[in-house]
Structure 1
Amino acid sequence: MKRTVLTVDDSRAMRDMLRLCLSGAGYAVAEAVDGEDGLLALRRLRPDVIISDINMPRLDGFGFIEKVRAEKDYLGIPILVLSTECDAAKKARARAAGATGWIVKPFEPAKLVSALARVLA
């Protein structure tokens, strides 16, 4: 059975790129356009791992991560942040919210797939 990745990003181009990369690596991919949509998808799908942007409308990545971690049923789901941001304070804030790791955009597909394999091991 394929593992499911939920991608949460307001950029259609980024969601498309992630879908191509991850589906090519054998993952089932679900998409959400922002944190609010991500919460709905999370409850509907219960993915194996989440990849989330930080800068999004309605509910940003920090708020999304905090809301996911506030629900005990989802504590074990790894959350990777995928962002153009590389500020140490933002990375620390994401980790404090419950992020498992941080990947900077633009990403190398092989490194993203490798990061997923590590957090799912």
Structure 2
Amino acid sequence: MATILVIEDNPANMKLARFLLNNAGHAVLEADRAEAGITLAHDARPDLILLDIQMPGMDGLEAARCLKSSARTSDIPLYAFTGLAMKGDREKIFGSGFDGYITKPISVGTFLKEIDGALKL
């Protein structure tokens, strides 16, 4: 299937994403910090990146701008993987270069449907 990079600092969220994606047949690459995720994205060129917004150090909005401004990673579909769901958050996220948005806590029933849609970009 696909190779998906998950950039997530919460171990429980990472474990759940890995479990669901692996069970669907996807290979999962993992980074717990934005900087490490950017490096991994440049090196591995995954089919999709799921990126948390609220992380220590560089946040997901800045990481998205870095990924989308690089010729090496700008064409990789980039989805926010976040609990931010307040008014205005969605606009900030898309304004930073994200192609899509998956909210946490995730719904197991729709998560893989959203992933399938993201991979069709």
> TM-score under structure 2 normalisation?
0.93
d(CA) in 2 for partners of 1:30 and 1:109?
Answer: 20
**Corresponding residue for residue 50 of structure 1:** 49
Which stretches of structure 1, 4 residues or longer, exceed 3 Å deviation after superposition? none
Query: Per-residue deviation at 1:73?
Result: 2.3
For residues 51 and 43 of structure 1, the distance between their equivalents in structure 2, rounded to whole angstroms, comes to 14
Map of 1:96 onto structure 2? 95
Q: How many angstroms apart in 2 are the aligned matches of 1:18 and 1:6?
A: 10
Residue equivalent to 2:25: 26
* Deviation (angstroms), 1:5: 0.4
Asked if structure 1 preserves the Cα contact closer than 8 Å seen for 2:42 and 2:73, the reply is: no
Q: Is the 8 A contact 2:4 2:49 kept in 1?
A: yes
User: Residue in 2 aligned with 1:38?
Assistant: 37
Higher helix content, 1 or 2: 1
Which runs of 5 or more structure 2 residues have no equivalent in the other structure? none
Residue 15 (1) aligns with residue 14 (2)? yes
Give, in whole Å, the separation in 1 of the partners of 2:54 and 2:71.
25
Counterpart CA distance in 1 for 2:109 and 2:37 is: 24
Given residue 92 of structure 1, which amino acid in structure 2 is its aligned partner? E
CA contact (8 A) 2:68 2:74 kept: yes
How many percent identity over aligned positions?
A: 27
**Aligned residue number for residue 112 of structure 2:** 113
CA distance in 1, matches of 2:118, 2:87: 21
Alignment partners' CA distance in 1, 2:84 and 2:7: 16
**TM-score (structure 1 length as normaliser):** 0.93
Residue matched to 1:86:
85
Q: Distance in 2 between matches of 1:99 and 1:73?
A: 16
- 1:70 maps to a residue whose letter is S
Task: Give the 3-state SS of the residue equivalent to 2:88 in structure 1.
Answer: helix
How many residue pairs were aligned? 120
